[in-house]
Amino acid sequence: MTNEQLRAFIAVVEQGSFRAAAGRVFKTQSTVSAAVRALEDEFDLLLFSRDSYRPALTPAGKAFYREAKKVLGQVQSLESLGHRLAQGAAPSLALSLSALCAYPLWLETVKAFCARYPQMRLSINTQHLSGVLEPLLRDKADLAMGPHTGLDERFEFVRVGDIDMLTVAAPGYFDTAGSRVLPQSELRGCPHILLSDTGSQAPFDHVHVIPGGQRWYVGDYQMKKALLVAGLGWARMPAQMVETQLESGQLVALEVESFNSRSRVPIYLIRLRDLPLSELAQAFWQQMTAA
């Protein structure tokens, strides 16, 4: 059994076909098939049922997959550690952060953590919807932080805070907005400004939308806020990001009929359940969850 064989097997499971797996591991389809067959021959096991068009894991294959993920994750961690030690490089921590979390409460904890590890190389990428979890699944981030969207049995997650959301627009964009409940029909023909999903594989649907309504998409909350202040649409926004504009009267909070106009969104620290963390990521996890 080799690491390359395990990588090929895991790729078939996660990509759903031998052809797609070949593209993921940059091998030919015949090489991937041979690697899986070699594993089956070595242990005298049938890892995939070939009765259907797409390969399906057998019960033995499911158990083998769970352990293979753990083993390969440990190998990858060891390889990374070896390279860092050989190069004398500073330890690194990569975070995938929901755009919702760009402002809040967790920064003081990060500041204290950086004081503990002054030589740390920190990388933070801001994502939205499926883009928050994708770097974890592609081994591009150690940890993620964001809402519950997309979380399932592949992930371990701990609630670390909350974000208050408000629905807002510029004053005068809707007549007497802020003093009455707006019917959905009044908003349907006005641009609902939304953040684009930053994921590249399986985008999520937006949840808090009006069916049949007009939608505009932007790349970040700063552009979203600029369009709102300019009177070009309406949207849900993190309350902390529009606090100044609400106080100055540049924006007003809306109440919309049968719509989640105000809500508190739980925020989670997230890791892959079956992939061991680096020493630095484990320390960050412990400090965040203890805060």
* Ordered per-residue pLDDT tens for the chain, 291 residues: 898 898 998 998 888 888 888 888 888 999 989 998 998 889 998 998 877 778 889 989 899 999 988 888 888 878 776 776 665 556 889 999 999 887 656 788 888 999 999 889 899 999 999 999 999 998 899 999 999 999 999 999 999 999 999 999 999 999 887 789 999 999 999 999 999 999 987 788 888 999 999 999 999 999 999 999 999 999 999 999 999 999 999 999 999 999 999 999 999 999 999 888 988 999 999 999 986
3 vs 22: CA distance, rounded Å: 15
Record: fold of 3-87: Arc Repressor Mutant, subunit A (1.10.10)
Residue 214 belongs to what H/E stretch? none
pLDDT of residue 21: 86
| Amino acid symbol at 222 | Q
Residue 236 confidence (pLDDT): 97
Helix pair 3-15, 18-25: axis angle to 10 deg: 130
Give the burial class of 117: count Cβ atoms within 10 A of its Cβ; 0-12 exposed, 13-18 middle, 19 or more buried.
middle
Q: Are 92 and 121 a contacting pair, CB within 8 Å?
A: yes
**Bridge pairing between strands 215-218 and 192-195:** parallel
Q: How far is CA 241 from the centre of its chain?
A: 21
Query: For domain 163-265, which architecture applies?
Result: 3-Layer(aba) Sandwich (3.40)
Per-residue CA distances from 181 to 129, 174, 246 (Å):
29, 11, 18
Range 92-159+267-290 has CATH code 3.40.190.10: yes
Which residue in 153, 172, 142 sits closest to 234, CA to CA?
172
AA letter at 230: A
d(CA 71, CA 23): 22
Beta-strand ranges (E) seen in 10-140 are 48-49, 56-57, 92-98, 121-127
Relative orientation angle of helices 279-290 and 107-116, to the nearest 10 degrees: 140
Contact 64, 46 (CB under 8 A): no
Give the model's pLDDT for residue 51.
77
Tally the C-alpha atoms within 13 A of residue 106's C-alpha that lie toward its C-beta.
24
Query: What pLDDT does residue 103 have?
Result: 65
What phi and psi values does residue 126 have, to the nearest 5 degrees? -90, 130
CATH 3.40.190.290 intervals, the chain: 163-265
Query: What confidence score (pLDDT) does residue 165 get?
Result: 96
Which residues are bridge partners to 264 per DSSP? 164
Run of H or E including 87: helix 59-87
Q: Other C-beta atoms within 10 Å of 181: how many? A: 11
Tokens of 247: 């106080």
Nearest-10 crossing angle of helices 221-229, 239-248: 20
pLDDT at 104: 57
Biggest CA–CA distance in the chain, Å, is 74
| Spatial separation of the C-alpha atoms in residues 140 and 134, rounded to whole Å | 8
Helix (H, G, I), strand (E, B) or coil at 147: coil
**Residues, the chain:** 291
pTM > 0.75: no
Residues of the chain with CATH 3.40.190.10: 92-159+267-290
- Backbone phi, psi, residue 200, to 5°: -115, -5
